[in-house]
Amino acid sequence: MEQAADLAAVTILAVLEQAYFFQWVIYARRKYSVAPPSTSGPAAFERVFRAQANCSEYFPIFIAVLWVAGLFFHHGLSCFCGLLYLYGRYRYFKAYTQTPLGRLAPLYFSAVFLWALIGLSLLGVLCCLVRSHLGIDLAVLVASYLRADPMEPNNEL
């Protein structure tokens, strides 16, 4: 349950971050008098709206790979990547509300950790499938290879 609690805590933090972004859109609608369902208005409103929409578009991908990486690879590393992704998304949102070009560095920062979670998910699921269908534990195989002495002639993997 500990690994699920860690993943759940990051998930709740992510949900709270999304709620914070939604609040900014509500505030911007009031400030710039943009009534729903309109999505256009002053440039300052449109930046807030797009920043929130962009973060929301990636949210399901993030949650899915956070949990898959956490359950199939390593929950601690997944949570760490998840927290850094959320930090990058927060910085992205704040920068985008100021200037569209300001969003690029935080966007690339968060993308690194989203791709890391995708990679960890793929690796974790692959290892699990190979272990269950072929009876080969890739983690043990790699660990034994890394511990092997390359100078020893009878080294069997």
- Residue 103 annotated as catalytic: yes
* Residue 58: partners with Cβ closer than 8 Å, 6 or more residues away: 89, 114
pLDDT greater than 80 at residue 151 = no
* Inter-axis angle of helices 75-98 and 104-134, nearest 10: 160
Distance of alpha carbon 4 from alpha carbon 11, whole angstroms: 10
- Taking CA atoms, 149 is separated from 109, 116, 136, 140, in Å, by 38, 30, 22, 16
Choose the catalytic residue: 29, 47, 89, 103.
Answer: 103
Start-to-end C-alpha separation, the chain: 34
Per-residue model confidence (pLDDT) at position 29 = 97
pLDDT greater than 60 at residue 155 = no
In tens, the pLDDT along 95-104 reads 999 999 999 9
Distance of alpha carbon 157 from alpha carbon 155, whole angstroms: 7
Residue 154's pLDDT band (cuts 50, 70, 90): low
- Residue 30 annotated as catalytic: yes
Choose the catalytic residue: 29, 30, 47, 147.
Answer: 30
Per-residue model confidence (pLDDT) at position 146 = 83
Cα pseudo-dihedral 4, 7, 12, 14, rounded to 10: -160
Distance of alpha carbon 64 from alpha carbon 12, whole angstroms: 14
